[in-house]
Amino acid sequence: MDILEKVFLLAVLKRQEGESLQEVLHQLVNTKSCTQKEGKAVLKKLKKEGFLNEEGLTFKGVALAKEAEAEFTL
């Protein structure tokens, strides 16, 4: 799993209540973490691999997002 995928999962884990996955994608694009094209590709890949569904993180996604959070924490 590459760093952009981990950042995306972590962003979804930390999103505000009521924020959609598209809003999370736009936040990452606005902070120059990725381009719109890269973000859409990551979103599609994470959904296909079972880390995300339409509502947000799956159990598998939550576990990986928490691993990413621990990795990024100093």
Encode 37-56: b = buried (16+ Cβ within 10 Å), e = exposed.
Answer: eebeebbebbeeeebbeeee
Residue 50: per-residue pLDDT: 96
Residues 4-51 have pLDDT tens digits of 999 999 999 999 989 999 999 999 999 999 999 999 999 999 999 999
Amino acid letter for position 31: T
pTM comes to 0.90
Residue with tokens 């694009």: 29
Phi and psi at residue 35, to the nearest 5°: -90, 165
What gap in Å lies between CA 23 and CA 13, rounded to an integer?
A: 13
Residues 58-73 have pLDDT tens digits of 999 999 999 999 999 8
